Chain A
Amino acid sequence: MLGVVDVSKANWLTVRNDFLFAVAISIPLGILTEEGFFRGWLFGSLQRAGLSEGKIMIWTGIAFSLWHIPAVTMNTEDAVPLAQIPVLLINAVISGAIWGMLRSLSGSIIVTGVCHAIAN
């Protein structure tokens, strides 16, 4: 981001407060919703089904990406131009797989919730 965006006029106190507020809200909300469903229940359910950890990461990432399709294709705040939809969905698959890997390594969705909140 450095070199691309001019941050010389940024109010860093406001930025810090906004960042901390957003993270503080996002972590519990994320753990109870997106992380709880995809990296929590779906991950555990696929583990019980006997899938390998690698496959679980991929499939939870794909499910996470498919879940975002309505948000980016319908008339919502998160809607993006048609050309950007594949990029965004691939990005969601990779992000979901990375968070799945974190879940696998740590065994906890609290870790993935923190990561998800900061990334958001």
Chain B
Amino acid sequence: MSAQMRPNHEYADEIRKIRFMVSIRTSDKRKRPNIRGRVAFNQTASHGTSLAVIPRTSFIGFTTKDKKMNNALKGPILGALIAIAVNAGMDAIGLSDLSFASLFPLMLVFWAVQRLLRKSMGFFTRKLASLWLGLVTPCVGDRNDCTRLFNVRRGGCFKGKLADGQK
């Protein structure tokens, strides 16, 4: 730790050297450098102060497509978290009956921010015949309502009278 730190602007030459080395390496491999990070001062007792490029660890090993996907996922994750937080807040202050309505303005806001097409939002019917899917599924495919079964067997929130012989 005997080396004294110099002001940042005095490292400009070293930064230029690093960029030059990166450009040579890039021209050799004929592809863009996969270096994303920051230039940091590395001070050791044996070598004094040196400069190094510290890559962003979250991007190491990811392809360009993955990086784009990571960025694109920030919006949906943020939107879902905000919706959950708003819903929790409304439930906490006793507005649970209206908490579902908070999704409407959130949907409009995120729709406008992300500029999704109406088709991407699903506000269209490709063909009216597909409506039969919505009508039939609750009767056939949506038989996973184990909560209701759970309640019925315990005489829970389902207030119907149990038939004779049922426990």
A-B contact count (CB 8 A): 195
- Contact: A37 with B96, CB < 8 Å? no
Q: With A76-B91, A98-B141 in contact, do A108 and B130 touch (Cβ < 8 Å)?
A: yes
Residue on B with the closest CB to A37?
Answer: B103
> Interface size on B (CB < 8 Å)?
61
Closest Cβ–Cβ distance, residue A34 to chain B (whole Å):
6
B88 contacts across to A, CB distance below 8 A: 69-70, 74
B interface majority secondary structure: helix
Write out, one digit per residue, whether chain B residues 37-77 have a CB within 8 A of any chain A CB (1) or not (0).
00000000000000000000000000001001100110110
Write out, one digit per residue, whether chain A residues 28-44 have a CB within 8 A of any chain B CB (1) or not (0).
01001110111111111
Q: How far is the CA of A42 from the CA of B75 in the complex (A)?
A: 9
A interface majority secondary structure: helix
A58 contacts across to B, CB distance below 8 A: none
Closest Cβ–Cβ distance, residue A20 to chain B (whole Å):
13
14 interchain pairs, CB-CB under 8 A:
A4-B152, A39-B122, A48-B116, A49-B75, A51-B69, A70-B91, A84-B150, A94-B144, A98-B144, A107-B119, A107-B130, A108-B123, A111-B130, A112-B134
Chain A residues in contact with chain B, CB under 8 A?
Answer: 1, 3-7, 29, 32-34, 36-51, 63, 66-67, 69-71, 74, 76-78, 80, 84, 87-88, 90-91, 94-95, 98, 102-103, 105-115, 118-119
